[in-house]
Structure formats: C-alpha cells, structure tokens
Structure 1
Amino acid sequence: MSPLWLLVSIAVLALIGAVIGRRKAMASAGGDARELHSLPNYYGANVALLVTAPALLVLAAWMILQPMLIEGRVASIVPDAAYQDAGALNLLMADVRRVAGGLDLAVAQGALTAQEAHDAEATDLRARLAEIGVAVGSEVDTVILEAAQRYRVLDSRADLARTVVILILALAGFIFTVSRIDRTYRARNSVELAVLVLLIGASTIAILTTFGIVMSMLFETMNFFRQYPASEFFFSTTWDPSFSGRGGASELGILPLLWGTLYISLIALLVSVPIGLFAAIYLSEYADKRFRGFAKPLLEVLAGIPTIVYGLFALITVGPLLRDAIASPLGLGNSASSVMTAGLVMGIMLIPFVSSLSDDIINAVPQAMRDGSYGLGATQSETIRQVIVPAALPGIVGAILLAASRAIGETMIVVLGAGAAARIDVNPFEAMTTVTVKIVSQLTGDTDFSSPETLVAFALGLTLFVITLGLNVLALYIVRRYREQYE
C-alpha cells in the first residue's frame, strides 16, 4: 500500500474512533454529559490521537530509513570490480534505482509481467524500458540488472512490512483507547498532554534544525582542514581556487572575501539604519493616521521585491550612475561594479527591515512614559530622544541586527552590483566580492566533494555562522545593559 493510501486509512480509522469514543463515553454516563470527567469531544479526540500519532511517527521514520537500508543492502552485493570509487558507486546506484523504478513502471503498465521483471534479460531490457519512457544513464549490464532486481524485491517486501506494521499499530491504538473509555476516564488530561508534547516538539524544531545545520557544516569543514592548512585559510590574503587538478595549486585565503563582506555590509547599514530609524520615528510620533496608513505599506513594499530585481537595478542604473557621476571624474575607477553600488542598493533593500520593526517597537513603548515626560515639561523632540528611543533601544538593536544578518547573507545584489573580484582595497568604487558569492561559485557545476576547492564552501559557511553568532551575542549584551535602566 502506498503512503498516500496509508494516510487515508489512518485518517478514516481515526474518524471512526472519534465517533465511537464519544458515543461510548456518553453511553457510560447514561447520556448525561455532566457525569463525565471530561467533555464528550475529549474522548473522541483521545481515540483519534492514539490512532494517528504512533502510526504517523513510525511511518515518517520508516520512509526515511527504508531507502537508506535497501541501498546499503543492494550496494553490498555489487562486485568491487564494477566501480572504482565512492563516486562511481553512487552513479551506479543511480542507474540501479532508475532500472528498478522502470521495472515497477513496466509491470504497472503491463509492458512486463512480474515474472518477466524478475527474469528480465539485459539485452532487451533497455529497449523495453525505453518504450515506456524510462531513461537509463548507461548501458544496462548484468550487474545493474541484478542489483535492480534485488532492489525491487527488497523494496516490495519493505512496503508490505510497512503497511502491515502501520495498520497493526493504528488498530492497536484504536482498540486500546476505546477499551479504556468510561465516565471516570481522564480524557481531557490525555489530550492536553498530547497537545503539550506537540507544542514542545514544535518549539524544539528550531533548535534541532540549527544543530543539524551546524553539524553538517562542521563535519565537512573538518574534512577541508584535513586537506588544507587552517593558518593559510584564515590568514592568507589571496583567493585563487584551481579546478585544473594541479593538486596544491589553490590558494584559499578568506581575508579578501571577509573584507568584501564586511565592507559592503557596512555601507548598506550606513544607508539603511539612519533612513529606516528616522522613518520609523516620523511614522510613529509625527505622522497623522492618514499619511501613516499610506506610507507604511508603501515602504514595506521594498521588502517584497526579489533580490534579483535589486541586482538588476544595481547593474543597469546605480552602477553606471556612480561611475559616470563620481568614480570616473574623481579618478577612483571606471567600473560600474563596485562596493558602493552593491552597498547602496542593499541599503535600500534593508530600509523596511529597520523601519518596520523599529516602528512597531516604538509604538509598543507605554503611553504613560510619554505623558510623564510631557508632564515634566519636555518637548516632543526631547521626549523622543531621552525617553522613547532609549526605552525602545533593545528592539531597535534587534532590528539593526536583523538588517546586518540580512546584509551579510546577501548574494544576488553582490553578484550583479559588486562583481566577483576577491581583493582587499579601501576604494569603495572598486569591484569586490563576498563570502556568499564564493560559496555559490565553489558549489556550481560538476563538484568533487573530496577536493578542498569544493569543501572550502562549508568552511566559508561556518565562518559566516560564527560571525552572525558573534553579532547576536553583542546585541544581547547591549540589550541587557540598557534594559536594566527600565526594569
């Protein structure tokens, strides 16, 4: 049975269990809901939860583990002479999966019987599969055919076992829960415990996701540093990767990329933070409701524009304008791609991140603080400077941190606006690049994940993660220091 029909079966059984559970609870109380410990719907919900939750958890785990275990079993029967390394084995297993899927499709469409699929000959199998539109990357030889047949048999057995186990588990939950229902059964407690577990699980998703991201990057970064010296990566001022197979010819110093990242991000923040903060102060403290209702949604439209559009704007409009109006007349450069171009356009993109969040934080400052300041004789501007902004400073720091993280992780604007030159230069009208751009370039095309030129992308990503973590720690320190004045 397919996973879809398993889900349908579980849903139907849960619905039946909900109806039966509610009716049995009412019957045990003689039709008087006041005699029940919990509301009648809790009894039905309790049955539905015990039917669906264990079955769905096992089904999810099964769907993840089944392909991994089957591929491991099938790979173990492939002769060592059929492949040279792990990469060749992965390609061979890809053909095995395609042939196995083609056999199943041929059986489903009647092009092959089940026995023919099991006894298919390599000489005519390719043509039979081509008739139903199944493409195979290489010639179907005996090794691939035998592995595909084994894969198909194991997959069919695993599907049958999965169906039996899931249905038995759902039925067991149904029978166990229904048998326990009476008027004293604490169904509400069970349902609320299940909801609590669901909320805890949802709250831990972010933590587990972060942990998974860090671990996946950390392992690959460790592989990189086994092949390339960490001292050269962190302290070298040259970025010159080579994919020509010359061995140690690559120079993978992060300093030029880090310089470009911080330089462009600094210019973007110098543009976005003052404009965004002043806009938030005006909209929250000075503008009337009519203008605010028009201006704030219009300002937030900037956040919805795709970054590729900003990149095209930088490439076609801002870059040539800065070159012709400033860089060329002053002798600072003749390129439309520059740090200033990317920084200005990125700053425009970040304005709504700062303004919208700061506006919400300023509006959340209690009106009593404003009234107290006015009562002491302060003007509106003095109240804003000395009361409202300090009180809202923790939220404003958070908005600036969000903008900084967004700037550090931007790619498309940098590609089109700043170029791809890895250099250390203080001239803002020269082309430079960032860490994220080089991560994309190192992982684009045919990549060998055993080479330092590819693995360096994970080291770059982990470095960005550490920088962002440092920004969060700094922001937390600032927030706590200033918040103590108001608590």
Structure 2
Amino acid sequence: MFWIFLLILIALSALGFVGARALARRRVAAAGGRGHSRPNQHGYYALVWILAPALLVLILGGVLSGPISDGLLASGAPAEVNALEPMQRGAFFDDARRIGRGAAPLQIWEAPLSEQLPREARRAVQIDRILALGAGVGAVILAILGGLWVFLRIRPELRARNAVEAWIAVVLFACSAVAVLTTLGIVASLLWDALRFFEQVPVTEFLFGTKWSPQIAIRADQVGSTGAFGAVPLFAGTFLIMLIAMAVAAPVGLFSAIYLSEYASRTTRAVVKPVLEILAGIPTVVYGFFAALTVGPAFRVFFNTIGGWLAGGPLDGVGQYLLLVQNQMALVAGAVMGIMLIPFVSSLSDDILNAVPQSLRDGSYAMGATKSETVKKVLMPAALPGVAGALLLAVSRAIGETMIVTMAAGLAANLTLNPLDTVTTVTVQIVTLLTGDQEFDSAKTLAAFGLGLTLFLVTLALNIVAQRIVQTYREQYD
C-alpha cells in the first residue's frame, strides 16, 4: 500500500509541476512578459510543496505504524497475552502478523495462546491496514492542499527561484547533518559502552597489560576465572602486521607510481594503471582465501625447506624452529595485506606526482639532470608531503583490516614481534568478542567497545595527520 500512495504522490507532483509552469507562463504573459522567476522555477516550487510535506507524512506513518500497532494490539489483547513478558508478547504479535500475511509462525504456542493467535492475526491485519490507509490518505490530502496553496500564490512577482534554492539548501544541510550526526552517534555509542568497560577494568591494565584472555570461566577456581584484559599483545600484533604490509605496499606502490608518472608511455599507462587498480576492487575475503590457501602453504614449505637444510648443523635450533612453522603467521597476513594496499598507495602517489608543476621538471632538465636525478632530487622532495599523507592513509587502512588477519594470522594473542608466529589484531578480537549470543553486562563483551574506541581514536589521529599533510602540500602547489 505504501508504494501505491507513493506513486500517487509522484503523479500529483508531476501534474503540479506542469500545471504551475503553465499557469506561471499565462500570468507572466498577461503582466507584460516580465516576472521574477522563470516558469520552470514556479513548477519546481509547486513540486516541492506538493511532494515534500506529503512524503514526510508517508514516511513518518511507516516508521510510527509499528509502535502504534503494538499499542493498539496490546490494548485489545486478552489477559493471557498481556500477562506475557514484553519480549514474549512482542514475539506473539509478530507471529500474529505473520499469520495475517499468510506465513507460518516462528514459534509454537500452547493453549490458550494458540487459540487466541488467529483472532489476533485478524486484528493485526485490520489495524495495519487502517494505519497504512490513514497515513496514505493524509499524505494525499496534504499534497492536494499544498498544490492548491501554491497555485493561489503563483504570480509574476513571486520569488519562486529563491524559495526553491532555500529548499535545496535545506536538503544539502540535512545530508551534511546526517554525516555529522552519524559520526557523533558512533562516538557516543563507543564511548558509553567503553566507559562501562573501564568501570570494571582499569584503563592502565587495558593499555599496559601483557595478558589478553577475555573469557569468563564457569568455575571460580578455573584458570582465568577473572579474565585478563591487557591489550598490549593486540596492539603488538596490529603494529607488526601493519609494518609488514607497509613494507610491501610502500615501495611497490611508490615505485609503480613513479614509473607510471615519469617513465611509462601513454599506451602503457592506459593499460597498466587500470589493471593495477583492479586489485582495489577485490573483496578482502578473497584476499583472505588467497592468503590461507596459496601464500600460507607456500611460505610454510619455503621455511620448512630452509629448516631442513639447517637442521643437524650449527644452526640446528633455528632449523628446528623453521620446521615447526605453520600456514598461519603474521608474515602471510602482512604480505597479502600489502598486496591489497598497493593500488591504494600507487593511485594516490601517482596523482600527487602528476600534481607537481611541470616547470620544476623543465628546470631540472635545463640544468642537465637526467630523468632519474630529476625524480630523486626534484620530484620526490616536492611530492614528499603528499606521499607521506598517502602512506598514512594506507596505514589507517591496514590497521582496520579484519578478514585477511582472521584467515591468515590466526586468533592467538601472542606478545611477539616475530613475523613467523601467529598473532591477532584489535579488529579480529572485536569480531570474536561480538560473535554469537553475548551479555552486554560482562567485561568480556564490553571489551570490544574499549578496543573499538582505541582503534577509532588511533585511526582518527592518523587520518587527521594525513589530511593536514595533504592540505599543506596542496596549498604549496595550487
């Protein structure tokens, strides 16, 4: 029913646009052909006043119909239904709506609730229809009244253009406000539950503790019964994988950008650059499969082979260790993540190098410098702030990656900087803590919000630093 009324509103808006434009033309012609706004702007003025308030009523009706319907159902429900717990009563009404739509209920209800279910289903259908019909009819009536009001106001001196531009400004402000309010909502939700977590776990233990074991034991005498929430192993794992990823992405991406910007022909650039950027469109879970099924086994065979060569000799201890290397390790996750970040670094660095004024290149060549000397002593120093900003943005992207680490580095919270060990990161632990049924009163679940707040602040700081660097660079070369 919502879509029927929406189509009616669109049709009324189209008619209002055409009618208002024609009426404006006639009245402007009758006044001597001079008017403040063009006929099309009068049409848009009518379209806005017909569609916007009516559409708002229709959307509010759809949003508020659920709570209103629940209240009406509860007010007329039998005593045995109202005696249920709030969640059970909501599930009962949901099943009643499902039966009213011809679907099967999600739960099996015993008598006398099973006997009341068909009756409540009929009531739910009637209430939902009445509410939807009321919202739709109210929206149509409001659209008609808005159209009549606009048609009475149309005259040559009407400032329709100013009114339409004011509406556009309101829409643009609302879109901007959505982004700001979303960010504030994310920060508020993280901060609220993170503060609840820090009421149970001291901040110093969380930031400087070296043991991460958030599970809550069943018995009081069980090991780890109180849990351990030292996040240093998570920070170390995140830092280690990020370093490995940037060790792959930074040189490869930067050298690719230099080649495409300074050395490649137009034909080569037109082919290589799109192919390189295809890597940016591959889902991270595909990179995870690639790491787990291809790169991990290849690295394991490589290190096991080296360990076999070293075993039994002066470096027997190193050889025995390399023989124990498995598929999951920080090196695998970091290497594959670096491959994922190559197009990110390459594309940004290429744009930054191309933004360096051509006069700097020409001056270098005029002094007798070769192309490589120009790149090393002119272009890179000039583009260094922008390249640094691109690398910081890539670092923030690497810190927030989850799927590759989960599939290639494991879940063990080891405090190590050895790239051949299994490690975990902050994002992986957030996913682990919030997977399945959780109690949001326990420190185990609330720890995810403490980790999320820490990750948010670190990523925000990196993005701010990167944006400041890029802004400085742009101001210098605009």
- Fold shared, TM-score > 0.5 on shorter chain: yes
Distance 1:33 1:374 in 2: 67
CA contact (8 A) 2:236 2:417 kept: no
Structure 1 residue 220 and structure 2 residue 193: aligned? Answer: yes
Q: Structure 1 pair 466/239, CA: closer, same or farther in 2 (3 Å)?
A: same
The DSSP-based 3-state class of the residue aligned with 1:237 is: coil
* Partner residue, 1:391: 382
Distance 2:355 2:366 in 1: 20
Q: What residue identity is the alignment partner of 1:444?
A: T
Q: Structure 1 pair 451/58, CA: closer, same or farther in 2 (3 Å)?
A: farther
* Partner residue, 1:266: 243
Distance 2:422 2:89 in 1: 44
* Partner residue, 2:105: 135
Q: What residue identity is the alignment partner of 2:37?
A: S
51-60 vs 29-38, which moves further: 29-38
Distance 1:275 1:99 in 2: 60
* Partner residue, 1:117: none
Structure 1 residue 290 and structure 2 residue 267: aligned? Answer: yes
* Partner residue, 2:232: 255
Distance 1:225 1:80 in 2: 39
Q: CA RMSD in A?
A: 2.9
Deviation, structure 1 residue 97: 1.4
* Partner residue, 1:319: 296
* Partner residue, 1:338: 329
Give 1:30-41 correspondences, 5 Å limit.
Answer: 30=29, 34-41=33-40
Q: Structure 1 pair 62/405, CA: closer, same or farther in 2 (3 Å)?
A: farther
Deviation, structure 1 residue 167: 2.1
Aligned length: 454
Q: Structure 1 pair 482/22, CA: closer, same or farther in 2 (3 Å)?
A: closer
CA contact (8 A) 2:238 2:399 kept: yes
CA contact (8 A) 2:36 2:159 kept: yes
Deviation, structure 1 residue 154: 5.1
CA contact (8 A) 1:97 1:148 kept: no
* Partner residue, 1:279: 256
1:451 paired residue among 442, 447, 464: 442
2:184 paired residue among 171, 188, 211: 211
Distance 2:448 2:62 in 1: 30
Q: Structure 1 pair 320/220, CA: closer, same or farther in 2 (3 Å)?
A: same
* Partner residue, 2:95: 98
Q: Structure 1 pair 133/472, CA: closer, same or farther in 2 (3 Å)?
A: closer
Structure 1 residue 431 and structure 2 residue 390: aligned? Answer: no
Deviation, structure 1 residue 164: 3.5
Distance 2:149 2:215 in 1: 64
Distance 1:463 1:74 in 2: 45
Q: What residue identity is the alignment partner of 2:42?
A: Y
Q: What residue identity is the alignment partner of 2:96?
A: V
Distance 1:189 1:43 in 2: 10
Q: Which runs of 5+ in 1 are unaligned?
A: 84-88, 106-131
* Partner residue, 1:12: 11
Q: Which runs of 5+ in 2 are unaligned?
A: 308-317
* Partner residue, 1:82: 84
Distance 2:32 2:248 in 1: 65
Q: What residue identity is the alignment partner of 2:162?
A: N
2:140 paired residue among 145, 167, 170: 167
Q: What residue identity is the alignment partner of 1:380?
A: K
51-60 vs 66-75, which moves further: 66-75
* Partner residue, 1:49: 48
Deviation, structure 1 residue 5: 1.5
CA contact (8 A) 1:394 1:483 kept: no
Distance 1:40 1:33 in 2: 14
Distance 1:246 1:141 in 2: 40
Deviation, structure 1 residue 178: 1.4
Q: Structure 1 pair 61/366, CA: closer, same or farther in 2 (3 Å)?
A: farther
Q: What residue identity is the alignment partner of 2:106?
A: V
2:154 paired residue among 156, 181, 185: 181
* Partner residue, 1:123: none
CA contact (8 A) 2:245 2:338 kept: yes
The DSSP-based 3-state class of the residue aligned with 2:420 is: coil
Deviation, structure 1 residue 359: 0.9
Deviation, structure 1 residue 48: 0.5
Distance 1:74 1:246 in 2: 45
Deviation, structure 1 residue 81: 5.6
393-402 vs 306-315, which moves further: 393-402
Structure 1 residue 472 and structure 2 residue 463: aligned? Answer: yes
